[in-house]
């Protein structure tokens, strides 16, 4: 029974499996049929879409083809119009060229006719020239024959050979040429001298007019204000110890007299005098006066004055627009602020000379900066006394400038501006001229009124000491002497000699004087007669006439 159940069970299992296989086959077939149908539908749809797209593409292609045909026709028409326009323009140009060629051809034909006419005229002229040449040849032969006869006759008359006659002619020509050359050279030299004088006068006047400066006058004594006589006693100290200590520390002489309110400090060295003045002023204001304090104040005053000297040197270089000077030279230049020459401050004088040199150099086309440098440093040696360096101020200044590598033009200007050494650069004469202008110009240097009047009287007395001199006047601050002579005693030619004699006597007797003195001799003849109106007719007035010859002056 168990076996039957097993068989039955197995039979049901196989049936079920068979049924399942059949169902699966049927399902798969159905799925395949469904997929085939679906793919067939999609293929039909895509085929329809493709046909539609092809139809649309064909329509668009047809439209574009029509548009392209229209555009092509339009381009063809435009190209045809351009071609016709270019063709017409080319045709017009060809016609224009053809007309020009026709005109040129006509012109060439006219020129050919003119040339043919000229050729005929030239041929005729050549024929005439040929005839004239024949005639000239014949006449030249006749002239040469006549000249030969004349030459022979001249040789016979003069009894000279041709060589002797030639030498004689050459000597005469040489003499004439030498005379004419001498006259020409003299005329050129005279013209050059006149032009040089005029140019120099213009340059100097222009430089003086463009620059003007004032000078302060200094002396060898400075005064210090003292508030009371009690302070004078403190300056002197017990048994004079304070004043002795001050004089020893500064090297000056202190003068304390009965003059109220001042103490005098006297020494020739202006730098030491300035130090002493500053120190004394500080001591009086401070009130503490004793030997130790005096030494401290003098040391501080020395530093202050040295600082002012350095600042003065830099300020002078800046004012004169001169750059690149060594600091040592600037310090030495600043010492000139405390130096004077005939009352003229040497530093201000150097600055003025620098400006004058620069102005004259600019007028002459030279280097104005280098000229100012030469003028500023030309009196550098005056900053050192004879106890500090031996020799003249030109030599001392030259040595110091050479030590600090100054240019050769500056060195020559320093050593040669007084004529001690030959000028090797054009700036040296400029410095000499500017130095003379600055020193000799009116007001440049100080002179006391007594000495000034005495010098003028002395000049007039020297001039009137000569025979034939009626009057003499010293004018222009003693820089010119006008001498009026008697026309009956002094002739015109003697006036020049008289001027020279007066100048020589002034040089011998007056001694040192600033600048040059011009001597002008005036000779004048006056004739006086009266015409009386009542001699031949009625009453009238008396008239006086003066006849004077032109005055002649020599300076």
Least trusted range by pLDDT, from 459-468, 482-491, 530-539: 530-539
Rounded (5°) CA angle 204-516-344: 75
The whole-number pLDDT of residue 11 equals: 54
Select from 1.25.40.420, 3.30.1370.10, 3.40.1010.20, 1.25.40.10 the CATH code of 219-338.
Answer: 3.30.1370.10
**Percent of the chain at pLDDT above 90?**
1
What is the residue extent of each domain of the chain? 160-196, 219-338, 343-446, 449-548
Question: For residue 298, how far is the Cα from the chain centroid?
Answer: 47
Instruction: Note the pLDDT tens digit of each residue in 422-445.
Output: 888 888 888 888 888 777 655 555
Look at residue 219 and tell me whether its pLDDT is greater than 60: no
The whole-number pLDDT of residue 548 equals: 37
Which CATH class name applies to 343-446? mainly alpha
Look at residue 3 and tell me whether its pLDDT is greater than 60: no
Q: How far apart, in Å, do the first and last CA atoms of the chain sit? A: 188
Contacts of 478 (CB under 8 A, 6+ apart): 452, 455, 456, 459, 513, 517
How many Å apart are CA 282 and CA 465, to the nearest integer?
Answer: 57
The model's pTM is 0.46
The whole-number pLDDT of residue 217 equals: 42
pLDDT band at residue 527 under the 50/70/90 scheme: low
The whole-number pLDDT of residue 524 equals: 74
The average pLDDT across 165-192 equals 76
Give the residue carrying structure tokens 């501006």. Answer: 417
| Between 480 and 194, residue with greater pLDDT | 480
pLDDT band at residue 528 under the 50/70/90 scheme: low
How many Å apart are CA 394 and CA 146, to the nearest integer?
Answer: 80
The average pLDDT across 440-460 equals 66
Element (H, E) at 181: helix 162-210
User: According to the 3-state scheme, what is the secondary structure of 249-309?
Assistant: HHCCEEECCCCCCEEEEECCCHHHHHHHHHHHHHHHHHCCCCHHHHHHHHHHHHHHHHHHH
How many Å apart are CA 170 and CA 175, to the nearest integer?
Answer: 9
How many Å apart are CA 379 and CA 417, to the nearest integer?
Answer: 9
The whole-number pLDDT of residue 553 equals: 37
Whether 219-338 shares its CATH topology with 343-446 is answered no
Least trusted range by pLDDT, from 131-140, 153-162, 296-305, 528-537: 528-537
Look at residue 380 and tell me whether its pLDDT is greater than 60: yes
Look at residue 448 and tell me whether its pLDDT is greater than 80: no
Instruction: Note the pLDDT tens digit of each residue in 57-81.
Output: 888 888 888 888 888 888 888 888 8
How many Å apart are CA 523 and CA 518, to the nearest integer?
Answer: 16
How many Å apart are CA 447 and CA 340, to the nearest integer?
Answer: 13
| Between 352 and 271, residue with greater pLDDT | 352
- Residue-wise DSSP of 342-373: TTEEHHHHHHHHHHHHHHHHHHHTS-HHHHHH
The whole-number pLDDT of residue 388 equals: 59
The whole-number pLDDT of residue 343 equals: 66
Look at residue 554 and tell me whether its pLDDT is greater than 70: no
User: 148-154: long-range contacts (C-beta < 8 A, 24 or more apart)?
Assistant: none
> Using an 8 Å Cβ cutoff, are 355 and 211 in contact?
yes
> Using an 8 Å Cβ cutoff, are 523 and 552 in contact?
yes
How many Å apart are CA 92 and CA 189, to the nearest integer?
Answer: 78
Instruction: Note the pLDDT tens digit of each residue in 110-141.
Output: 888 888 888 888 988 888 888 888 888 888 88
**Total residue count of the chain as it appears in this document:** 555
The whole-number pLDDT of residue 10 equals: 56
pLDDT band at residue 176 under the 50/70/90 scheme: confident
Q: Beta strands 518-524 and 480-486: pairing type?
A: parallel
Mean pLDDT of the chain: 79
Which CATH class name applies to 449-548? alpha beta
The whole-number pLDDT of residue 374 equals: 92
Instruction: Note the pLDDT tens digit of each residue in 7-60.
Output: 455 556 777 777 888 888 888 888 888 888 887 788 888 888 888 888 888 888
Look at residue 164 and tell me whether its pLDDT is greater than 60: yes
The DSSP call for residue 381 is G
The whole-number pLDDT of residue 494 equals: 77
Give the residue carrying structure tokens 């050459």. Answer: 170
**Percent of the chain at pLDDT above 70?**
83
pLDDT band at residue 546 under the 50/70/90 scheme: very low
How many Å apart are CA 341 and CA 357, to the nearest integer?
Answer: 20
Which residues make beta-bridge pairs with 522? 484
Q: Which two tokens stand for residue 170?
A: 């050459």
> Using an 8 Å Cβ cutoff, are 341 and 349 in contact?
yes
Which bin fits 276, alpha (ψ -120 to 50), beta or left (φ > 0)?
alpha
How many Å apart are CA 521 and CA 178, to the nearest integer?
Answer: 38
């Amino acid at each position: 029974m168990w076996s039957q159940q097993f068989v039955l069970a197995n039979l049901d299992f196989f049936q079920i499996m068979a049924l399942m296989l059949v169902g699966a086959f049927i399902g798969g077939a159905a799925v395949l049929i469904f997929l085939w149908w679906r793919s067939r539908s999609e293929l039909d749809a895509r085929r329809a879409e493709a046909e539609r797209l092809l139809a649309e593409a064909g329509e668009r292609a047809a439209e574009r083809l029509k548009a392209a045909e229209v555009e092509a026709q339009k381009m063809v028409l435009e190209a045809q119009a351009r071609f016709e326009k270019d063709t017409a323009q080319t045709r017009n140009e060809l016609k224009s060229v053809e007309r020009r060629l026709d005109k040129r051809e006509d012109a060439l034909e006219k020129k050919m006719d003119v040339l043919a006419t000229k050729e005929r005229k030239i041929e005729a002229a050549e024929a005439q020239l040929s005839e004239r040449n024949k005639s000239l040849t014949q006449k030249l032969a006749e002239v040469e024959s006549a000249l030969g006869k004349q030459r022979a006759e001249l040789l016979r008359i003069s009894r000279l050979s041709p060589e002797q006659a030639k030498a004689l002619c050459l000597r005469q020509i040489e003499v004439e040429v030498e005379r004419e050359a001498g006259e020409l050279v003299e005329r050129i030299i005279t013209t050059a001298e006149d032009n040089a004088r005029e140019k120099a006068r213009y340059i100097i006047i222009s430089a003086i007019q463009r620059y003007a400066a004032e000078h302060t006058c200094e002396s060898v004594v400075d005064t210090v204000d003292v508030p009371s006589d009690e302070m004078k006693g403190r300056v002197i100290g017990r048994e004079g110890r304070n004043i002795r200590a001050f004089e020893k520390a500064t090297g000056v002489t202190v003068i304390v007299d009965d003059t109220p309110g001042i103490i005098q400090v006297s020494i020739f060295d202006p730098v030491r005098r300035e130090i002493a003045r500053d120190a004394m002023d500080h001591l009086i204001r401070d009130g503490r006066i004793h030997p130790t304090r005096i030494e401290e104040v003098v040391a501080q005053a020395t530093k202050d004055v040295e600082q002012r000297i350095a600042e003065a040197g830099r300020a002078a270089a800046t004012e004169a627009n001169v750059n690149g000077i060594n600091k040592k030279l600037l310090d030495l230049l600043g010492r000139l602020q405390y130096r004077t020459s005939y009352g003229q401050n040497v530093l201000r004088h150097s600055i003025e000379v620098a400006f004058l040199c620069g102005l004259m150099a600019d007028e002459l086309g030279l280097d104005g900066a280098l000229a100012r440098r030469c003028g500023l440093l030309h009196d550098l040696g005056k900053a050192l006394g004879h106890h500090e360096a031996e020799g003249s101020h030109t030599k001392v200044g030259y040595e110091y400038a050479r030590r600090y590598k100054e240019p050769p033009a500056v060195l020559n200007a320093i050593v040669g501006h007084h004529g001690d050494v030959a000028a090797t650069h054009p700036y040296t004469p400029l410095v000499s001229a500017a130095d003379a202008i600055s020193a000799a110009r009116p007001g440049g240097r100080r002179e006391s009124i007594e000495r000034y009047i005495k010098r003028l009287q002395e000049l007039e007395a020297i001039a009137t000491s000569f025979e034939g001199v009626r009057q003499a006047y010293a004018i222009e601050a003693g820089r010119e002497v006008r001498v009026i002579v008697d026309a009956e005693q002094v002739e015109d030619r003697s006036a020049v000699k008289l001027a020279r004699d007066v100048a020589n006597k002034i040089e011998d007797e007056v001694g040192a004087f600033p600048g040059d003195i011009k001597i002008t001799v005036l000779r004048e003849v006056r004739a006086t007669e009266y015409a009386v109106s009542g001699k031949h007719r009625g009453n009238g007035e008396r008239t006086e006439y003066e006849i004077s010859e032109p005055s002649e002056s020599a300076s």
